[in-house]
Structure 1
C-alpha cells in the first residue's frame, strides 16, 4: 500500500494542539501584566469566537484528511460564513469578496506571466547550462541549481520554475552519475526560499500584501523584504551544501534504462498464442470484459508488425505474440488456464520496449497539483483510450506499483511510466495536466518570445515599483500583453491559470476577515500575549513563526497565511509593538514548508520524481525549519524593529 500523509499529519496536528494547550495554560497564569489582563476581561469567549474556532478546526481537519480537493473544500467557507452571518459578522458581499479580490486577480495573472516565460524555453535553456558548468561535482551542482532556482523564483512564480527544471535536474543526475534525489529537494527548497525575495515570487506574498493593506494600510512594495529574502536564501543554500547535503538521501540509483528504474523487467513477458488458447477468435474488448486476473496486454506482435493501444477491435489469432504486464504468479496462472506459452528469451529494456519505427517511446509523466487526474482513476478518465498509450508503472514517493492500476486514485506528484506514440507525446507536451519528466528539447527555445516576455515582465515590475499602476491592474495588463504578443497562445490563456488556486484563495480570503471581525484574532492574540510573563516579544514572534510554518506543512502556504495574519497583527497590537514586523514574519513562515512533502506544491512535484519517503522531508527539512524559526524573527527585529 502506498504511504499516505495521515501519520505525518497526525504528528504535526498533535504538535499544534500541544502548542495551543500551552497557550491556554498560560492564559490562566495570574502572573501577567495589567494591560493584557484588562484586555482579556474585555475579550472573553463569546458565540462568534466559538463559531469561528469551530470553523477553523473543521477546515484544518478537512484540509488534512482531504476527502476532496481543498479548492472545493474552500468554497464551503463563504457558504458557511453567509448562512451564519450573525456569528461571522460578514455580509454577503464580504463573504464573496475573495472572488474579485485584487490579490486573487494578481495571482491569476502571474500564472499567465510565468507560462509565457516558461514556454519561451528560457528557463529550460538557462537551466541546461548548469550541466555544462558543474561537471560531476554534486555540491557544485546543488549550489548552481539553488542559486539559479532561487533567483528565478524571485521574479516569476516558483511552481512553474520547478516544473521546468525537474527534467533538467534528473537528466543532469543521470549524465553525471549523481542520484537525482540529492538534487531535487534542494531544487524545491531553493524555489521556496527564492519566492520570498520579491512581492511577485509567490502567491503567498501577494495575499499577505493585500491583508496587510486591509489591516494596517501598508501593502508590500515590490522589493520591501528583498534584503531579508536574499539573506534567508543564502542561509538556506549554505544549509543545503553542508548539513542538508548529508541529510538528503540518495533514494534513486542512477539508471540508464527507465525499465530498470521502474523495475518493469519482472512484470513484462512475451507469450505465444497456441491453437488451444482460449483467447483465439476473441476480440481484446471481450478478453478485457471477462478478465478475472490482474494483467494487461500491452502489445500484439503479428507477422513481424507491432500493434499497441487501442487494441479493443482486434481479434486474437493463432501465432500472435502478446506482451503482457503481470506478476509472475499471475502469469503462471494465466498461461496454465488460457493455454499460452511464455517466451523467456525476451529481453526487457528501453530498446526492447520502445519501437522507433512505430513511433513508440517510454516517457515519465508527473501529475501536477492542478491536474484533472487528481483524485480520479485511470478507469474514470478512460485514460488508455483518451491518450492512446499504456501505463507500465506508477510511483508515489518511494513506492512502485504495477498492479491494479486502473483503480489507482492519483494524487499530486505521482509519477507515471507510459509507453506512448510520438503523437500522444506531442499532445501531452501541450497539456497542462501533465509535466513531461526527463525531457529537455533545445528546439523549444524561442529567442523572440523570450525577449518579449522578459520585456513585459520588466514593464510589470517597473510600473508596480514606481507606483504607476496598482498591482492587480499592472498584472492584468501584462497577462493581456503576453497573449496579444503571442508569448502564450490565446487558446491556452485560461489553461495557464491554476483554477484550483483561484477557488482556494477566493474561499479563504473571507475567512481571514471573519477571524478579524468576530474578535477571534484578538482573543487568540491575548492568549499568546500571556506568554510575555515568561517570554520576550522576539520569542513571541518565534512562536508565531512556528505556528504558521506548522500550519503550512499541514495544509498549504496560502491557507496558513490567511488564517494566521489576523492573529499575528492582533498579537503585535496587544503587545504594543510594530505589527508590520509580525506580518513579514508570518509571510516568510508561510513559505517554509520544509518538513513535509504535502504543504507546498514544489515539494509535491519532487516527491515522486526523487523516490522520497515522507520521513525524508522531516529529516532533511526539520533542522532548516527550526533554524529559520530562530533566524527570521531575529533578522526581522534587526531590519524593521519593534
Structure 2
C-alpha cells in the first residue's frame, strides 16, 4: 500500500480521534441513528435543524456525548463566522451593493447593430462576477440576491431563466471553494479540524490550490456544454400555484427630490415593464387623476404619478431600490426605505383574524398607523386583486398585511385576537442554518466517542487497500458526494469528517488533503 509521510507540522494529527474504548453497542446505535437521521432528512419529515438537534439530544441519555459536547458547537468559531457572514450578506443586499453587478451585466451584454450575443459568452459574463462574489460571501444569500437580477437580465435578452439560474447555482458553489469563508461547509470542516488538532490552521486562500482549478474546469464545462444541456424552460412559478401576491403603491419622485428621476421616461425605458414577479397594474396621474389600467410600455411617466404594482414579497421590497420611485404608505407623503429600515424597525406579515375589530373597516377609519404604530405598505387578498389606495381598502378576514413596525410588535400582537398570524418576513441571521452547523459538531463528536468513525474508517481502509492512497481520496470524495446528494452539505460533513480523519491517521497520510476533498461541491 502506498503511504505518504506526514510533515512535522502535521505530526500532531496522528493521534486517533477517540483514545478511549467505547462499547460496541454504542457504535452500532450511533450508526443506526445516523441512518435514521439521513432518511428523515431525505424524506423531509421535519426541518433539517430539528432532525439533527433531536438526533444529537438522543445521544445524551445513551452516554455517547455529554451535555457539554452537545452544546459545544454553538461556541465554535466556524459557526460564529457563518453567523457574521450572513449579517454581512444581508447588509450587501440591503445597501443595493448588487446594483454594480447588474449594471456590469447590462453593459457587457448590450446588443449592437441588432446582433444577438452567443449564449456561451453570456454564461462567461454571468459566471465570472458571481463566482468572485461567492468566494467571499455565503452561497445562499449570494444566490438569493442574484436571482431577481438574472431573471430581469434574462428577460431583456429573451433567455429562459433556466439557462441562467442553473449556472448561477453552480458558479456560487464553485466560487465558494476558492476561499476559507466561501461556504459554511468550509468553515465547518476547519472548525472540526481545529477541534481534532488544536495546532491546525489554514489561511484564507490556502484552499484555492484545489478550488481554483475546480472553478476553472466547471466554468469551462458550463460554457461549452451549457447551451446544449441546460433546459429551455420558463420559471417554475408558471407551472406551480401562484405565490402570495401583494398590492402596493409607488410614487414617481419629482426631479428636485433626489435619488434619480423617471419623469419624462416611458415605462419601458424606466425598466418597470419586465420586473421579475411584479406587474404594473395601473398608473394614476397626479395632475388630472386619470387612471390608466394595464399601461402600455410607451406610457410616459410624470412627476407624482401613482403606480400600482402587484407582486410577491421580495419583489415588492425590491421596488425600494428602483431609482426615482418612493413608497408612500396610506397615500401620504411620508416615505419608507424598505432596504434601509431604521433602528428596530422590521418587516412583518400579519393576517387579519376572522373576529378582529379590523374586519369591514378601512385602514384610514381604523387609524392603523397611530393605533398599532405600524405602516402598511402592501395588502394581499386571496383570489382578488385590490386596486384601491391602501388607506381606502376595507379589510376582510384573511387579508395579509405587509408592514413596517417595531420589533416589539411581534411580541405584543402575536397572540392577540386582532391578527391570526404575525411573523417577521426576513431576518439577516438564518437560525436554521446556524443550528444545523452547531449540531454537526456534536454529532461528529458522537461518532468519535462511540467508535463509529473508527469502524467506518477501517472499512474504507479495507476497501481502498488495493489502490493505496489514491483509493482513499476517491472513496472519501465519492462517499461525501453521495451523502451530499441526499442531505445538506453540513450534515454530510458531520458524518464524513471523523471517518476521513481516522482513515488518514490509520493510513499515515496527510490529513489536510482529506479536508480539501470534503469541501468538494
Query: Are 1:219 and 2:201 an aligned pair?
Result: yes
The counterpart of 2:69, out of the listed 85, 94, 98, is 94
Pairs within 5 Å for 1:109-188:
109-135=84-110, 136-188=117-169
Q: Which runs of 5+ in 1 are unaligned?
A: 1-41, 269-295, 300-349, 368-378, 394-417, 432-491, 593-642
Query: Are 1:581 and 2:513 an aligned pair?
Result: yes
In 2: Cα distance, 1:215 partner to 1:427 partner: 47
Kept in 2, the 8 Å contact 1:561–1:586? The answer is yes
Kept in 1, the 8 Å contact 2:123–2:223? The answer is yes
- Matched with 2:282 is 355
Compared CA separation, residues 218 and 352, structure 1 to 2 (3 A) = closer
Pairs within 5 Å for 1:151-550:
151-216=132-197, 217-252=199-234, 262=238, 354-357=281-284, 359-364=307-312, 388-390=379-381, 427=402, 495-550=427-482
- Matched with 1:70 is 48
In 1: Cα distance, 2:405 partner to 2:202 partner: 35
Kept in 2, the 8 Å contact 1:360–1:419? The answer is no
Question: Cα deviations across residues 306-352 of structure 1 (Å, max 9, x unaligned)?
Answer: xxxxxxxxxxxxxxxxxxxxxxxxxxxxxxxxxxxxxxxxxxxx999
Compared CA separation, residues 516 and 419, structure 1 to 2 (3 A) = farther
In 2: Cα distance, 1:153 partner to 1:544 partner: 25
Shift of 1:380: 11
In 1: Cα distance, 2:34 partner to 2:489 partner: 15
Shift of 1:200: 0.9
The structure with the largest helix share of the pair is: 1
Compared CA separation, residues 263 and 554, structure 1 to 2 (3 A) = closer
Q: Which runs of 5+ in 2 are unaligned?
A: 1-19, 111-116, 248-276, 285-305, 316-348, 360-375, 391-398, 407-423
In 2: Cα distance, 1:522 partner to 1:351 partner: 54
Question: Cα deviations across residues 353-404 of structure 1 (Å, max 9, x unaligned)?
Answer: 813337532324579xxxxxxxxxxx996799996214569xxxxxxxxxxx
Compared CA separation, residues 153 and 526, structure 1 to 2 (3 A) = same
How large is the RMSD of aligned CA atoms in angstroms? 4.0
Question: Cα deviations across residues 381-430 of structure 1 (Å, max 9, x unaligned)?
Answer: 6799996214569xxxxxxxxxxxxxxxxxxxxxxxx9798979995899
Shift of 1:533: 3.8
- Matched with 2:32 is 54
Question: Cα deviations across residues 456-511 of structure 1 (Å, max 9, x unaligned)?
Answer: xxxxxxxxxxxxxxxxxxxxxxxxxxxxxxxxxxxx9x931011111112222100
Kept in 1, the 8 Å contact 2:497–2:518? The answer is yes
In 2: Cα distance, 1:62 partner to 1:171 partner: 37
Kept in 1, the 8 Å contact 2:350–2:402? The answer is no
In 1: Cα distance, 2:219 partner to 2:279 partner: 42
In 2: Cα distance, 1:81 partner to 1:549 partner: 26
Kept in 2, the 8 Å contact 1:525–1:568? The answer is yes
Shift of 1:539: 2.5
What SS does the aligned partner of 2:220 have?
Answer: helix
In 2: Cα distance, 1:366 partner to 1:559 partner: 29
What SS does the aligned partner of 2:467 have?
Answer: coil
The normalised TM-score by structure 1 is: 0.51
Compared CA separation, residues 186 and 232, structure 1 to 2 (3 A) = same
The total of aligned residue pairs comes to 366
Compared CA separation, residues 244 and 137, structure 1 to 2 (3 A) = closer
In 1: Cα distance, 2:204 partner to 2:489 partner: 20
Compared CA separation, residues 382 and 215, structure 1 to 2 (3 A) = farther
Kept in 1, the 8 Å contact 2:131–2:172? The answer is yes
What SS does the aligned partner of 1:121 have?
Answer: coil
Question: Cα deviations across residues 562-605 of structure 1 (Å, max 9, x unaligned)?
Answer: 211111111112222111111111122xxx2xxxxxxxxxxxxx
What SS does the aligned partner of 2:98 have?
Answer: helix
Kept in 1, the 8 Å contact 2:178–2:205? The answer is yes
Compared CA separation, residues 421 and 106, structure 1 to 2 (3 A) = farther
In 2: Cα distance, 1:381 partner to 1:52 partner: 44
Compared CA separation, residues 587 and 420, structure 1 to 2 (3 A) = farther
Compared CA separation, residues 548 and 184, structure 1 to 2 (3 A) = same
What SS does the aligned partner of 2:180 have?
Answer: coil
Compared CA separation, residues 430 and 73, structure 1 to 2 (3 A) = farther
Kept in 2, the 8 Å contact 1:128–1:168? The answer is no
Kept in 2, the 8 Å contact 1:162–1:187? The answer is yes
Question: Cα deviations across residues 232-252 of structure 1 (Å, max 9, x unaligned)?
Answer: 111110010112331111111
In 2: Cα distance, 1:351 partner to 1:84 partner: 53
What SS does the aligned partner of 2:60 have?
Answer: helix
Shift of 1:57: 0.8
Kept in 1, the 8 Å contact 2:120–2:226? The answer is no
In 1: Cα distance, 2:447 partner to 2:226 partner: 37
